[in-house]
Structure 1
């Protein structure tokens, strides 16, 4: 038996190589309130309930109480009514999956169902379409504002449509889709509307209370039938906890699963998971109870101030521009000219201790850098902006990133449907990652290479790369 202190020491050693999850220096993936004591409270609550199993709410009634409390708190924020019901899931992707599943199961008369998505809809909906064999109908968004086009969305609805999706906000650009006209068009055809408020659901209502003009996006909008809200985002709860809300119990029924036709216990699930640890549920409940309405209002105030300061600062940096005016907490910044490469800017920021997320060009959206701003960024805006300006200057001095002609030709010849392991190994070698070299410190060249690939090829390449990463030593 290995001593506990040695095990924990090894874990700390491994964690030292990760991106920081506190301090506001990782502007994607993590959400930091900046408050002391919140993590400790969540950890203690998690430990109290981690061995309880949400598979059977009659065996562990405490978990049922915690889940109902979280659903009720979420529903209050997004205009829920006494009829609103919900489920706590493992994260935003599971919430989106279940919204699609419930919509598909709610229309057994449709043999080949489809869902209508703006091109900015989260990839989770494409995953749902893949898993549940639902056809995605992707509708281009406004090329300037990046918001969904209500008329185009309405025109895409047909007799096979079981669900229409809108974002509040969309992840890539941080803008809120025009939910009201989209939901109205769907309702006129008897089709459900899901609002993906995984990011904005817990913070936008507080922004509205602070005087920021935020359009209605929840159940106060006629035609909205379901809303997803992640608590591990701006409720600042540990991962992974999300809430999927439905307007009433009938709408939710389609994602429940029961199986009695076997000799074991009758299996009954409210989500995709069967066994569910009570730990994340209890941790989220404890954080929500602790911070309370006043606490979340103050955190929203700090976040809004940080978003405003960072957006204003980006406008003043020569060579940068906002890709869209941020409606919420997400900022997408683009290059104002072609004298430098944003992938190099991301590398320079990483060297200065910041993580900003590169996003590839897609349709009318050019290469850009994504920033997820949280309350922890308040007070650090000046330092971030100074390093961003210095990174742009360094990138301009380095010049644009180019892909070697031979490597570009090799990539162009690859067929994503027939890509072999040997071809993938050859590409890694060409990119300087062969022989187990792993990821380089600077990713601009790799990102430029990936950016030159079609989305289908990029998907295949990254699946191969993922398979390479997850191999036991």
Structure 2
């Protein structure tokens, strides 16, 4: 007897069955969340590399020296790709003659959110270090299109997030709009390369010049597209450490580095500045705790997989995969631009783009992007619905559908393009779901109608929130599950107050993973 409660093969069979319910992670049918190189050899390489370090604890690279070697390798690779190398760094004699204030150093993290959190934590502490005793709350200034990770960072670390409106038609940001918000209470300005919602490459050089003149730190969030843009075949405006004034940069290796989740890199200009990133304490009777990241103990598997992939692919391999991605992106954009009733938002940069209704055509010819995404999903293609939002200046960003393109997409472009055309034909002329009408339809299912619900804002208890989710069709039955059509759900997200929507989504995710029975 081995003492096992269940046969391991039975458990693995159950896991395989559970995986059957997931969206497909390979083959190019999911155009968000997964980044498929299309190379089975890389999947096998990453699995073997992770298996070799499975017992290793990344907490202490002085005990597990492989962690230090791999992290140095990845940071060195990223620093070179993003033009962070300086004269005298990594010389042949091993000497480091670089200026500590200018040398780019870095850390491997668990993902883009952690990289962004650490960039903000570093900026806050660096700001505080020269303003000891000030009672003011430091600000982050960023376009509204900045990733939600910076909302989280502001909440976690006690900063104010000052969001700057962008052009509602193109998603573009004027550097002057950032400049108008600057003051000595600004700890960090953030721009995107590119932004997630609309794939806009923010004007990094212009913003950096403004920030540098004011002595304000600038972070470039290149989490989603950085390792694609670093090898992109088209000429791009300078956006990385080649720009004077860029203070830090984040880029995810589990996206266009083709590594498994979760592994990202955060690069910072200046050793002294980067040291603000660390947590350290000797104020307890255990071992000295010194952490460059949010976690203590951490797996070495994603790190090893990312290191192995960068070593095997090299610049030529990454350039080849980026070229495949660029060709697929161009083909799909051309397809969408040829569909009457839809438009690509702005001038997207890199391997992603957003699609909105083309309001220049007559109403009966328009295609609602959310209905379009639902129709594509029925045909087995998973696009990502994004809600519209009102900016601080009163202008409204359109509701859109997002597509993230990967190298494997090139192999399925003909099939996918045809499906997108058919999906648009199926819903052309169908008006956008009116969130207010959906709300009105829920009134009969809610005790007391809508007014108490809207007045409660985020102060719902769990049972009330769950009841509302059930009425919407997002929770109920065995294990709940999403409705077949997501357009009405996104319409509700737009119609309900933001705090209330957030509270309902908290309840949804909490209930989905709650044990049953």
Native 8 Å contact 2:168 2:398 kept in 1: no
Could you report, residue by residue, the CA deviation over 1:10-64 in whole angstroms, capped at 9, with x for unpaired residues?
1110011101111111000000110121111100100101211111111011110
Choose which of 342, 345, 367 in structure 1 pairs with 2:369: 342
- From the superposition, tell whether residues 18 and 304 of structure 1 become closer, same or farther in structure 2 (CA, over 3 Å): same
| Residue 351, structure 1, aligned to residue 378, structure 2 | yes
Native 8 Å contact 2:282 2:288 kept in 1: yes
**Residue equivalent to 2:163:** 138
Could you report, residue by residue, the CA deviation over 1:395-453 in whole angstroms, capped at 9, with x for unpaired residues?
23765434342427728734323223343234224323454343222222222222221
**Residue equivalent to 2:94:** none
- From the superposition, tell whether residues 87 and 321 of structure 1 become closer, same or farther in structure 2 (CA, over 3 Å): same
Native 8 Å contact 2:389 2:494 kept in 1: no
Could you tell me how far apart the structure 2 residues matched to 1:67 and 1:453 are?
45
SS of residue matched to 1:296: helix
1:343 to partner: Cα distance: 2.3
| Residue 119, structure 1, aligned to residue 181, structure 2 | no
**Residue equivalent to 1:88:** 108
1:336 to partner: Cα distance: 1.8
Could you tell me how far apart the structure 1 residues matched to 2:476 and 2:77 are?
52
Choose which of 258, 275, 279 in structure 2 pairs with 1:253: 275
Report the more deviating stretch, 104-113 or 223-232. Answer: 104-113
**Residue equivalent to 1:15:** 19
Could you tell me how far apart the structure 1 residues matched to 2:140 and 2:467 are?
38
Choose which of 462, 466, 470 in structure 1 pairs with 2:513: 470
Aligned alpha-carbon RMSD (Å): 1.7
Choose which of 423, 439, 456 in structure 1 pairs with 2:464: 423
Could you tell me how far apart the structure 2 residues matched to 1:467 and 1:300 are?
37
Native 8 Å contact 2:341 2:428 kept in 1: no
Query: Greater CA radius of gyration, 1 or 2?
Result: 2
Native 8 Å contact 1:237 1:288 kept in 2: no
Native 8 Å contact 1:116 1:163 kept in 2: yes
Could you tell me how far apart the structure 2 residues matched to 1:98 and 1:432 are?
38
**Residue equivalent to 2:329:** 307
Please list every run of 5 or more consecutive structure 1 residues that lacks an aligned counterpart in the other structure.
Answer: none
Report the more deviating stretch, 227-236 or 427-436. Answer: 427-436
- From the superposition, tell whether residues 429 and 84 of structure 1 become closer, same or farther in structure 2 (CA, over 3 Å): closer
| Residue 24, structure 1, aligned to residue 46, structure 2 | no
Could you tell me how far apart the structure 2 residues matched to 1:136 and 1:250 are?
25
Which runs of structure 2 are paired with 1:243-392 in the superposition (5 Å)?
243-337=265-359, 339=364, 340-363=367-390, 364-392=396-424
Native 8 Å contact 2:50 2:300 kept in 1: yes
1:224 to partner: Cα distance: 0.4
Native 8 Å contact 2:457 2:497 kept in 1: no
**TM-score for both structures, normalised by structure 2:** 0.88
**Residue equivalent to 1:199:** 224
Could you tell me how far apart the structure 2 residues matched to 1:145 and 1:62 are?
46
1:234 to partner: Cα distance: 0.7
**TM-score for both structures, normalised by structure 1:** 0.95
Could you tell me how far apart the structure 2 residues matched to 1:179 and 1:234 are?
21
Could you tell me how far apart the structure 1 residues matched to 2:261 and 2:353 are?
22
Native 8 Å contact 1:225 1:251 kept in 2: no
Could you report, residue by residue, the CA deviation over 1:44-89 in whole angstroms, capped at 9, with x for unpaired residues?
1001012111111110111100000000000101110231100000
Native 8 Å contact 2:154 2:160 kept in 1: yes
Native 8 Å contact 1:77 1:201 kept in 2: no
Native 8 Å contact 1:168 1:175 kept in 2: yes
Could you tell me how far apart the structure 2 residues matched to 1:250 and 1:22 are?
42
1:335 to partner: Cα distance: 1.5
Could you report, residue by residue, the CA deviation over 1:259-287 in whole angstroms, capped at 9, with x for unpaired residues?
10111111110111110111111111111
Aligned length: 470
Choose which of 34, 39, 42 in structure 2 pairs with 1:35: 39
Native 8 Å contact 1:87 1:243 kept in 2: yes
Native 8 Å contact 2:111 2:261 kept in 1: yes
**Residue equivalent to 1:413:** 454
1:151 to partner: Cα distance: 0.6
Native 8 Å contact 2:466 2:508 kept in 1: no
